[in-house]
Structures are given as structure tokens and as C-alpha cells.
Chains A and B, each alone.
Chain A
Amino acid sequence: MNSTAGVADLALIIPELILLVTALALILLAPRIRRGPAAAVGTVLAALAAALASAWVLPSDTVTGFGGMITQDGYSGFFKILIAAALALAALLSVRGSDEDEDEDEAPRGEYHALLLLASIGMMLAVSTVDLLTLYLGLELMTICSYILVGFHVQRPTSNEAAIKYFLVASFASALLLYGISLTYGLAGSTGFATVASALSAHDPGRSPLVVVAILLVLGGLAFKIGAVPFHSWAPDAYQGASAPVAAFLAAGSKAAGLAALGRVTFVAYGSAAEVLSLLLAGLAALSIVVGSITLLAQTDMKRLLAYSSIAHAGYAILGLIAGTPAGISATMTYAFFYVFMTLGAFGVVIALGKRGATLDGYKGLAAQQPVAAALMLLFFLSLTGLPPTAGFVAKFVVILSAVRAGHMVLAVLAVACSVISAFVYMRVAVYMFMREPEEPAPSRWPVAVSAALAVAALVTLIGGISPASLMSWAVAP
């Protein structure tokens, strides 16, 4: 393996570099940026440039650089575009500020956007690396930025509490991941995915418990990042304490990055232990879907509701990975893609409605007062439920089909049964919006930026449901 990193290698991380330059510029200019929206515009432009840069290299062959640590292939390109999209939408949604201080507050300024950008760089590294240590670094960069973003509202106790909780639990999860990496290193003598894979194929996981332990630890660390049960306890508190745009960014971006990492790690690095993995992943998926859907029933706070929904969705996304086949991974990629847009859309409506959007009761009679917001929320919730003709249906279809193909019939039935339970919750919001009388005055207007984000999310959710073919041909396993 070539261990020197040349200037040519920088071509592999052009999207990251674009975001980095923007982040640094925003930090430097932060005191000079008077108006929040200006920073948001910069972030959106950087995200678009990064997405274009990723798309430009998308069809090209696999190239590896930086001493075999960073790779550029269709898989990384796909997720980089997705992360850039999540970043752009989250930046647009941030223009509203946070839900609770809609009166006093103006939009957050430079340093907030710099953190969003840095977290995105971490995500992009995590999806493009083929080395366990770089993976760890990428995920840590993402997580550390997320702590700060969650606790960004220093004046607000709930925000502080959420950040501390998140930090404590996440540190534990990082330790798990690191421990798993070190065990793997001990077994394989390397942290590169390819070397790990060939070294582990010599071990029979049935007879070598150390391999199982290493896999268990790595899986645990990654499951935390995507909020899969039983590593989910941080998510509801963190989402509720954070401002809604940050919660949206975490729910969409960090979940996509975590899923991408999980996909590559399980498929490439630990692919030889497929049986153990598929058992563990099936357990994770089943637990997440069941626990997420059932706890969803009790939620009345919208951010918490969407947090539990994201837990259940993590479970659905994992369904695709169980088979350990390229088709399965491609299903998870499709799921992640559509999930990002429908979740950001749902958060977008919550944000657009301001204080009224924060609780379930605020949605009473919304259709009569603000039909557009109600229609959009219905669309996103139909998609989260998985009803055609929305993208959520296609997403659920591909992952459950992948479980059926892997022979997990019971899991498939469980998954669809839980989607009925969650349908009850999502449609309760529809009942509130369409079938109840309004109790509060109509919400005030929301900024154009939020409208733009909602429009993008709605278009992807609709078009993805009607003609998913192009996306699905684009989602190819590493």
C-alpha cells in the first residue's frame, strides 16, 4: 500500500475542502456578520458546491488515497451529496432561529453555521473512509460539533441539559467503538477495511469469541450514532433540548452518515462474519422498530415525536443491511436518501409554525388556517408512514423486500405491523390538523428560506415516490 499522501490526494476531498474553507471563513468573519441569513446563504452555497463536486466524480471508478484511508467511489459520492443536501436544508431552516425565542431572536450567526459545516465534514469523512481509525475521527468530529450545536442556546436550561446528557452517553459510545477498533487491530494487525476483511476471514467467528466481541463493540458504537435501540436513549432528550433545526440536522445528517459507515463497515470490513452480523443487525432492527413505534404512541411534543420516529426509521434502514448483499445495501442507501428529505420536511413544518408547531395540540385546526402547511405535513407524515405514492413507500418497500429476500419473513411482518402502529400516531396529527377546530390564532408567516427548504423536501418526497428508478440505479453498494 502506498503510504505517502501527495497533493493529488487532495482531489479526493474537494467537497470537504470546500466546506472547510467556508467554515473557516465564517469563523473569521463571525464578528462582522451582522445578519444571520448571510451566514446561512454562505453555508447553502458551500453545500451546493460540495454536492456538485461530489456529483462530478460520482460515475468515475474507485480511487483510494491518503495511504489507503480515504476512498472515492459511488458509495461515498452518494452519501456526500446526501449530507450536503441535509446541510443545505438545515442551514435554510436555521434562518427561522429556534422555536421558543421567535420573538427576541434573530437567526444564529457565523459560528453556528461553521459548526454545521464542520459536523458535515466529519460526516463526509466517515462515509468515504476505508480505515477504522479515520472512521472514528470522522464520527468524532461530527459528534463533538453536535454537542455544541445541541447546547448552542446557552441561556436555556433544557438546551444545556440535553448537551450534557448527549455528551456523557456519546462519550461512552465512542469508547465502545474505539475498544472494538483496538480489538480488531489486535486480531488483524491493521485498521484498513481490506486488511481487516482478509485477516478476519481466517478466523471462524463461531470459534473465535474475540471476533464476535470486536464486532459487537463496533456495532454498538455505530448503532449509537444512528440512534438504534438499545443505544437510542440520548436521542429524544437531545432532539427536544436542541433547537428544531439542529434536531433536524442530527436526525437527518448524522443518521445518514452513521448508516453509511455501518453499511461499509459491515459489508466490507467484517463481511466474513456475515452470519453473526446478520443476527446482530436483525436484533437491532427489530428492537428499534418495535420500541420506536410503540414509544411513539405516547409523544405529544413534536420534536420528541420525531425523535422516536427517527429511532424506528433507523431500524427500518438497518433491515437492508441484514442480507449483507449489494442489493440490500443499495436498499438501505435508498432508504437513507428518502428518509433525510422527509424528516427534514417534517421538521421544516414544525419550524415554520414557530411556537405553535412545537406541540401536538398546536396542530389543531391547522388545515383551516394554514392549508399549505397542513398539506405539507400530511405529505411528510404519509411518507414517514410509508404510504404510496410517496418516497417513504418506495423506501420501506426496498428494505422490507430485502429482509424478505434474506428469508426474514417474521421480521418483515413485524416491520409492517409496526408501521401500522406508527401510522396511528402520524395520522393522529392529521386528525388534529384536518378534523379539529383551531384553538390558537393562525401562525405568523415564515421566512422564504424555510419555504425553499420545504419545497425541496416536498418535491423529493413526491417525485421519489412516483419515479424512484433513477435514484435507485444511482444507489450502488461499495
Chain B
Amino acid sequence: MTAYPVLTVVTFLPLVGAALVLFLGGERRARWIALATAVMTLVASAPLYLSFDKTSSALQFVESREWIPSWGITYGMGVDGISVLFIFLASLLVVLCIGASWIAVHTRTQEFYAALLVAETAMIGLFAASNLFLFFIFWELIVVPLFLLIGIWGGKKRVYASVKFLIFTLTGSVLMLVGMMALYNLCGTLDFKALALARESLEPRHQAWLFAAFLAAFAVKVPMFPVHTWLPDAHTEAPTAGSVILAGILLKMGAYGFLRVSLPILPDGVAFFVKPMLAISAVAIVYGAYVTLVQKDMKRLIAYSSVSHMGFVTLGIFTLDQRGVEGGILQMINHGIVTSALFLCIGMIYERTHTREIKDYGGVGKAAPVYSTFLALFCLAAAGFPGLNSFVGEFLIVGSAFRTEAWLGAMAIWGVALGTTYVVWLYYRVVMGENNPGLLKLELELNAREVATLAPLAILVISLGLYPELVLSYLRAPVAVLLAGVVP
């Protein structure tokens, strides 16, 4: 074990940073304090990955303290192979978000970086929580900073988008709150491990209701069809950092909820709902892809593609098959990397051109070769190009889908084909083709800071594509235990 309570430190360091930004930071100093905090958080989290025992499915780095003794609720932290990956993703993405906002955010910078860091605490805390109560607190905590990030620093329709985001997520999460109380009432505990042991005492009827209550919260966050409508607005209107947080982490919270709550605690509920879940996942893949095809706004296009991609994730999870679930989780990480990278790319060019309409672009390749190379890499990754990260995830998911139901596999393949189409077409229209004369006057090429922001993601895209064991090795043990409980 390490000398300090890693999870607590990693979770709350950003919160301390947020306070420092608010009280010490001037407009310029704020971003340095924020960057230092985010980097320190990433460094402090290193022991989590380095001394992690991949052969064990149990929670590691466990911390437990009394919190509300009269309810038997503890302050419990702990990570397994699934959650530790997301802590890495979250702490990395926040560093990159700060890099991307360095120049782009120039009004009320203190509040901006404070909100970003509070969001980081919520994200990391959510994945580190080892009981449902704490999980719920972090689940709700992330809503407010994102509401402010979208509403203050967003695009033209930011207020509408932020309120819509707030109402959708709150509606889902209050139903989860009732579900959590019912679960507590039936089992007398909220600790994930104890709940998984107590599930025998839950009647199938209760499990189905509880699954539905939690589904309300998780489905909104994923987002699953048909409650995805907040996503295009929120992602499009949010500032780049907000879009990255939304796409990179927030969407994963819902899918993570299925893995942490629904599958281990409510197996009968899962059995009851598994068919509809698979069906709406398949619908989301194809429907999301078609809607993506017709988008004219670059950011909106990527936003809608998330609906399709997250459909793959839920499809993989609900195949309830070792490879399918591993693929689903891997795809969550992949989507977090690739979509965040695409949002960063769009944000960088938007800062120069102030337009997101695809028709205003063309011929960017000649003016900005480095930028175009990065964009090409991330677009190919999004399309599931072999050798890049998403290929492995999609391959695992599609394979499991075929084994579950042939038509699901067919839908997934259809989605992959459409995905290649919209992303290649996007690249074609932006980078290739005729020069848009107006664009040439602008300095489109990336500067060193921006290259440094994109490089870590590019490295991840390639290395995960070539060696997916990097992620899969963490997943094997916990997923096996997870599925042993669900599949009879």
C-alpha cells in the first residue's frame, strides 16, 4: 500500500484546487493553478495503476470511515479493474481540457476553472465510491458545474441547452434516488458489496421495479434512445472543455451505473429487461448514425455520433457475455478518447474560424497539415479502422451481438458501416476538396500547446489499437465475477 489514501487524495485534490483558484487566482493565475492541480491529480493517481493487482476482482485501495452511523452508511472508497480505468481517463481529460481552454476561455476564468475542477472531483469520486450513497452524491455533484460550464461559457443557445441538460439529468436521478431508498429499505445497506450479497432476498418483482428506477437515471446519462435529446444541444452549445467532459466522462457514468448497480445487484431485473435493452441499443446505433449523417454542424455531428457509439456500449454490456462486456467497457474508454479528441480538434479550428458549419470549410489539409493529420487519425479511429483503438472494441461487441441474436449483429454492422460513412464524409468535406478562400487568410495550423494537448490522445489511440491488453487486462477478472452472478 502507498503512504497516503490515494483515492481520497485524488478525488478531493481538485476540490482544493478549485478553492485556491477562487480565492487566490487572478484572471491569469487561475489557469496556472488549475493546470498545476490537474497535473498533480494525475500524478497522485499513478499508484492506482502501477500497484494495481490485475488478477483480483476485489476492490482495491479500499478506504472506509464512519460517516452516518445511524444509517450504517460509511464513507467508502475502492476501485476495481473497471473503475480504475475511468479515473485515469477523467484525470487525463481534465488536464487536456485546461490546455484546450488556455486561450479560448477569457471571461470569468476563475469561475471557469473552479467549475472544471469541481467537476473533476465529482467524476473521480463517482468511480471511486464503494457505496451507493456516495455514488449518488457524486452523481449529482457533477450536474451543477456542468450546468454552469454550458450556460456561462457556451455558444448561442447555451442557456436553453444548460437548462435542458439540468432538467433531463435531474429527472432521471431523482428516480434513482427513490430506487436507492427502496433498495436501502429492502436490504438495509447501501454498500455495493453488501448489496450484491443481499440480492438473494430481493424478489424478482422488486428487482424489476428497481431496475426501472435506476434505468431512468442511467439511460439519461448514457444517453439511450429515446431520452438522448438533451445530448446534441448540450454537446453543441458547451465550450470545448464542457463537451470533452460530457463526451469523455459524463456519458460513461450511465453505462458504469449499469455495471456497478444493475448487473451485480439486480440480476432478475436484468433478466427481465435484457431483451428491450438490447433492442433499444440496436435502434440507438442505427438511428443515431442516420441522424449523424445529415448534420451540417461539425460539433452537432460528433454529438449525434455519440448516441450511436454509446449504443454499441450498451449493446456490449447487455449481451452479458465476457467478450461483449469487455468490449463494451473498452469501447467506453475508446469513445472517451476519440470523441474528446474530435471535440478538441473542432474547438481548435473554431477558435480561428468562428464557424462550425461544415460547408464553410474545405481544403484545410493544405493550410494545416499537422492539424489534418491529427484529425485524420481521430476520424479513422472513430470509424473503427483496424489498428486503432475502436476497432477492437467494436469487433468484440459485434462478435458477441452475433452470438446473442443474429439480427443484433446485423444492426451493429450496419451501424459500423454508417459510422465510417459519416466520419469519412466529414473529413472529406473539411480537409479535402476545394479551398475555401476565406480560410487561407487565417492561421489554421496548430501551435505547440495544441499539439501537446492532442498528442497524449493520439498516443492512446494507437497504442490501444495495437495492444488492447493495456485495458483488457484490467477488465478480465472483474468482468468474469460480474457475469458469474448475472448469467445463471
Give per-residue flags for A353-371: 1 if the beta carbon is below 8 A from chain B beta carbons, else 0. 0000000000000011001
8 A Cβ contacts from B331-357 to A: none
8 A Cβ contacts from B138-184 to A: 140-141, 143-144, 147-148, 151-152, 158-159, 162-163, 166-167, 170-171, 174-175, 177-178, 181-182, 184
CA distance A336 to B182 in the complex (A): 23
Enumerate chain A interface residues (CB-CB to B < 8 A): 367-368, 371, 378, 382, 387-389, 393, 397, 400-401, 404-405, 409, 412-413, 416-417, 419-420, 423-424, 427-428, 430-431, 434-435, 467-469, 472-473
Q: A412-B178, A423-B170, A424-B167 are in contact. List 19 more A-B contacts (CB 8 A).
A: A368-B108, A378-B144, A382-B144, A388-B137, A397-B181, A400-B177, A409-B182, A416-B175, A416-B178, A420-B174, A427-B163, A428-B163, A431-B151, A431-B159, A434-B151, A469-B66, A469-B68, A469-B69, A472-B68
CA distance A416 to B176 in the complex (A): 10
The answer to whether A435 and B158 touch across the interface, beta carbons within 8 angstroms, is yes
The answer to whether A427 and B147 touch across the interface, beta carbons within 8 angstroms, is yes
CA distance A409 to B144 in the complex (A): 28
Known: A401-B181, A435-B151. A423 touches B68 (CB 8 A): no
Most buried by A among B67, B68, B136, B175: B68
The answer to whether B141 and A388 touch across the interface, beta carbons within 8 angstroms, is yes
Contact for B174 among A371, A419, A427, A467, CB less than 8 A:
A419
Most buried by B among A413, A417, A420, A430: A420
Give per-residue flags for B120-149: 1 if the beta carbon is below 8 A from chain A beta carbons, else 0. 000000000000000011001101100110
Closest to A418 in B: B174
B70 at the interface (CB under 8 A from A): yes
- CB of A249 to closest CB in B, whole Å: 29
B2 at the interface (CB under 8 A from A): no
Closest to B167 in A: A424
CA distance A469 to B133 in the complex (A): 14
Q: Give the interface SS of chain A, mostly helix, strand, loop or mixed.
A: helix
What residues of A have a CB within 8 angstroms of the CB of B158 in the complex?
435
B185 at the interface (CB under 8 A from A): yes
Known: A400-B181, A404-B182, A412-B178. A435 touches B159 (CB 8 A): yes
CA distance A431 to B69 in the complex (A): 37
The answer to whether B163 and A431 touch across the interface, beta carbons within 8 angstroms, is yes
B445 at the interface (CB under 8 A from A): no
- CB of A69 to closest CB in B, whole Å: 32
Enumerate chain B interface residues (CB-CB to A < 8 A): 66-70, 108, 111, 136-137, 140-141, 143-144, 147-148, 151-152, 158-159, 162-163, 166-167, 170-171, 174-175, 177-178, 181-182, 184-185
A-B pairs with beta carbons under 8 Å apart, 11 shown: A387-B144, A393-B140, A397-B181, A400-B178, A401-B185, A431-B163, A434-B148, A434-B151, A469-B68, A472-B70, A473-B70
The answer to whether B111 and A367 touch across the interface, beta carbons within 8 angstroms, is yes
CA distance A435 to B159 in the complex (A): 7
The answer to whether A417 and B69 touch across the interface, beta carbons within 8 angstroms, is no
- CB of B342 to closest CB in A, whole Å: 27
Known: A420-B167, A424-B167, A435-B158. A387 touches B181 (CB 8 A): no
The answer to whether B177 and A388 touch across the interface, beta carbons within 8 angstroms, is no
CA distance A465 to B174 in the complex (A): 17
The answer to whether B178 and A413 touch across the interface, beta carbons within 8 angstroms, is yes
Most buried by A among B140, B167, B181: B181
CA distance A393 to B181 in the complex (A): 13
CA distance A332 to B208 in the complex (A): 31
What residues of A have a CB within 8 angstroms of the CB of B166 in the complex?
423, 427
CA distance A22 to B68 in the complex (A): 39
What residues of B have a CB within 8 angstroms of the CB of A397 in the complex?
177, 181
What residues of A have a CB within 8 angstroms of the CB of B148 in the complex?
430, 434
CA distance A302 to B37 in the complex (A): 39
Instruction: Name the 9 nearest CB pairs between A and B, nearest first.
Output: A416-B174, A388-B137, A404-B181, A435-B151, A469-B68, A401-B181, A388-B140, A420-B170, A412-B178
Contact for A420 among B137, B152, B171, CB less than 8 A:
B171
CA distance A33 to B144 in the complex (A): 47
CA distance A423 to B163 in the complex (A): 10
- CB of B185 to closest CB in A, whole Å: 5
Known: A387-B143, A387-B144. A417 touches B174 (CB 8 A): yes
What residues of B have a CB within 8 angstroms of the CB of A400 in the complex?
177-178, 181
CA distance A427 to B182 in the complex (A): 28
What residues of B have a CB within 8 angstroms of the CB of A405 in the complex?
185
Most buried by B among A393, A434, A467, A468: A434
What residues of A have a CB within 8 angstroms of the CB of B162 in the complex?
431, 435
What residues of A have a CB within 8 angstroms of the CB of B171 in the complex?
417, 420
The answer to whether A469 and B163 touch across the interface, beta carbons within 8 angstroms, is no
What residues of B have a CB within 8 angstroms of the CB of A417 in the complex?
171, 174
What residues of B have a CB within 8 angstroms of the CB of A419 in the complex?
174
What residues of B have a CB within 8 angstroms of the CB of A387 in the complex?
140, 143-144
What residues of B have a CB within 8 angstroms of the CB of A389 in the complex?
137, 141
CA distance A424 to B174 in the complex (A): 14
What residues of A have a CB within 8 angstroms of the CB of B140 in the complex?
387-388, 393
CA distance A389 to B122 in the complex (A): 11
The answer to whether B69 and A434 touch across the interface, beta carbons within 8 angstroms, is no
The answer to whether A401 and B184 touch across the interface, beta carbons within 8 angstroms, is yes
What residues of A have a CB within 8 angstroms of the CB of B69 in the complex?
469, 473
Known: A420-B171, A469-B68. A412 touches B181 (CB 8 A): yes
Most buried by A among B70, B170, B184, B185: B170
CA distance A261 to B163 in the complex (A): 39
What residues of A have a CB within 8 angstroms of the CB of B177 in the complex?
397, 400, 416
- CB of B161 to closest CB in A, whole Å: 11
The answer to whether A424 and B70 touch across the interface, beta carbons within 8 angstroms, is no
What residues of A have a CB within 8 angstroms of the CB of B143 in the complex?
387
CA distance A87 to B136 in the complex (A): 35
The answer to whether B181 and A468 touch across the interface, beta carbons within 8 angstroms, is no
- CB of A431 to closest CB in B, whole Å: 6
Closest to A432 in B: B159
- CB of A423 to closest CB in B, whole Å: 5
